[in-house]
Structure 1
């Protein structure tokens, strides 16, 4: 009895097409499932006249589409990144896929199907980098049809040889498969080399997404001063190279000069966007990467640190507006047994930093100590970080009596959002803010270490052999920052967000007023919102963030006539904060 005779019952079985769909689906999650052999067998059936080749294509395409979404959904969950991080091979494969996403290659999700292991790693990369489902699904549908048609054709051609000699048929099928994969890879490398590298170019492969050992406001001025003093001897030359198209160029000369001063004082690069009566003006200074001459991309992405808190606070206040959460709800109501004295600490206390909870950042190693790098790729959970903080006594008692900046409170707020909605704070920010406002350069990367799309590199000092050196810290696991500061964004998106927030598009008036009310007398921080007065007496609202390798500021006047967002990649020769303050002041008062 030959092989075809043994397979004959399957050829006429109604289980044939579900089996093909199942194999196609599994191949999207487990790269070792031999889909080539499965579809080659289907080609034998088609060649011998049993099943319909069109039905083979449909069944396989459906299975591929389902499998893609299973892998995508798994990698977006808490479990997915943990599974990826357990395997050195998986981490490398997903990282390679992420770099391919950055290159903006056409139909990347489609072409990845033709590379060995490419399909499952690209699905995982898209999910981990939080590529929006609205972008992933259409690409997956096209990919599924292309892949199914390719495999059916492969099976049909290989089937002819398989009928004569099964081993020859398998050899023909695998040879064709790898040959096609090689051709696709050569074409993709060629297009990647020819891809334009213009600053601020759009990135079709952007993830939602898509941060180890830092956090927003990671930093107090104390930490910043320590970093600067530790690296005073590090000489970094970064020639200022301002670049941007501007209306009323003559009116911008002063601000352009101020931005160059920021780089000269202590930064590798800087970028800014100013919106005023003349329109939107963008400028950059310095370089995107040490040792290279490439200018900072004007539309580049960066880690925004504590500006994330304003997004989190906005979601919390939206839940208050919906009657699902109360500002004066005790933390114990939503997170029973988690916080000592949780009956006396309210949601409001967490938002305005009057809870007295110990700041988790004070429990973590900081640069330039080499132990800081031990956590670079570690995945942290909010529960772990909160437990570290709560092992220490409160900074003051009772709650609400004083102000003390605490990232711990916002980690707890992220957990409360999930308790109230059943979805993560990242999904809620994406659903309620990022997608409605069209913030295409903004993402919450979760555990994804890369910054997708054009971006400047960030650096940190570290001690090695008794000397201080700068290391490239662009890539890191942002889970340590979590709801306190993991977000990635652009100057354009931050200006757009604060315009929507302060313009009343995201919150009702009374809650916006609450946001602008300090928790204690004399403070300048409300419910996730900061403010200060310029030299010309104008009060501006927004927030700033310190993600160690990146610092950012985003502020707007109350009437929204002027908005300014600045991001800096410090080199720690000096502290550029006072020069940034001068830039902001001139932008608002000039």
Structure 2
């Protein structure tokens, strides 16, 4: 579901790596990457290239193994850590409404949730500089899903935070970047404290409904997928049914490639935030990879063709990646519907990462054609 420890290093490392042979068109590069991903272990791969209003699709393999249903690029899927950008937008909008400041200590809004939390601010939750540890690394959280022993154990946000704190602090607040899903569990608790409502309600009314993201949801308790669904697998075991509370605001959301591309464009083109908050969204702190940085729920990197916004949205059953131009006008998305917990997916993941970056750079090069005024569908 959400990105696991080492996510940032993994996504940034592939941005300049050699890989599959270049094709002339971005969509051909992405299709080759989808085919390569399936050949190397994903049940199915779907992808999207969007430039302005021109949208093209790729797909390979299966969206459901038992019926051998072809992977559908318009199917709904779990987007994992892409959820974090939605949560960050809600908090930035609340700040714009003067209902909080990102520099407020979390103790002001959620007293006692994190003992000895002095110095931790809302901003440090959103940019992963709180120094708090990762709760999903604890075997009590993920092993029941991986082993298939218990498909949807319930975890309250406080229980997840308590499990994380048992692992010990990583660093003092503000010392440096350390990715932890725990930060966004706490960020969601702050939203509820400020608004009196569940984060899912705020996301729906502030983002999903205004942008008309008709296939996007933030499930709270319903473990079942609905509608046209890209089934997710772990070691080829269907793990589509899972309790969304395991990741909550760190990665519970469901969407489609189309909807997420629409959100990405709105996010980076300034449609969702006033200028002051847009500046905060994209202000980054250094990650362990020189020259790259993490903003508020978004990751900035240097691709061979220039600066990009990029992300891995990994979750149980899904392996998503995004590459977008600074203004969100050019977007590449690619998803494989299996998430492995061992190194056996490394080669497949590299091909997906490489394909997404190469397709984007072909799309974003100075010689790339201008966006078409009409939508188109491509791929196979």
- Scaled by the length of structure 1, the TM-score of the pair is 0.55
CA distance 1:294–1:386, shift in 2 (3 Å)? same
Structure having the higher helix fraction is: 1
Q: Which residue of 1 aligns with 2:296?
A: 527
1:574 aligns with 2:349: no
Unaligned runs of 5+ in 2: 11-23, 363-380
Is the partner of 1:438 in helix, strand or coil?
coil
**Is 1:302–1:567's contact at 8 Å kept on the other side of the alignment?**
no
TM-score (normalised: structure 2) = 0.84
Match of 1:52 in 2: none
Distance 1:511 1:370 in 2: 38
Equivalent residue number for residue 165 of structure 2? 390
Residue in structure 2 matched with residue 231 of structure 1 by the alignment: none
1:270 corresponds, among 23, 45, 58, to 45
Corresponding position of 2:316: 548
More contact order relative to length (CA 8 Å, sep ≥ 6): 2
Q: Deviations 1:27-60 (Å, cap 9, x if unpaired)?
A: xxxxxxxxxxxxxxxxxxxxxxxxxxxxxxxxxx
Of 429, 433, 446 in structure 1, the residue corresponding to residue 203 of structure 2 is 429
Range with bigger deviation, 515-524 or 376-385: 515-524
Q: Spell out, residue by residue over 1:192-230, the C-alpha distance to the aligned partner (whole angstroms, 9 max, x if none).
A: xxxxxxxxxxxxxxxxxxxxxxx41145459x9xxxxxx
1:485–1:547 CA contact under 8 A, matched in 2: yes
Within-5 A mapping of 1:146-545 = 215-218=1-4, 220=6, 252-276=27-51, 279-365=54-140, 372-397=147-172, 399-461=173-235, 470-520=236-286, 522=290, 523-536=292-305, 538-545=306-313
Instruction: Call closer, same or farther: CA 1:305–1:292 in 2, change over 3 Å.
Output: same
**Cα distance between partner residues in 1 of 2:120 and 2:244:** 27
1: distance between equivalents of 2:78 and 2:247? 11
**Deviation larger for 322-331 or 334-343:** 334-343
Q: Are residues 371 and 443 of structure 1, via their aligned partners in 2, closer, same or farther at CA, if it must alter by over 3 Å?
A: closer
Match status 1:561 vs 2:329: yes
Give the match for residue 370 of structure 2: none
Of 481-490 and 379-388, the range deviating more from structure 2: 379-388
The corresponding residue for 2:368 is none
- Contact between 1:219 and 1:546, CA under 8 Å: does it hold in 2? no
Do 1:271 and 1:285's aligned partners in 2 also have CA atoms closer than 8 Å? yes
Distance in 2 between the 1:431 and 1:369 partners?
33
Deviations along 1:390-422, whole A, 9 cap, x unmatched?
A: 22321112x101111111110011010011011
**Secondary structure at 2:261 match in 1:** helix
Contact residue 366 and residue 372 of structure 1 kept, 8 A: no
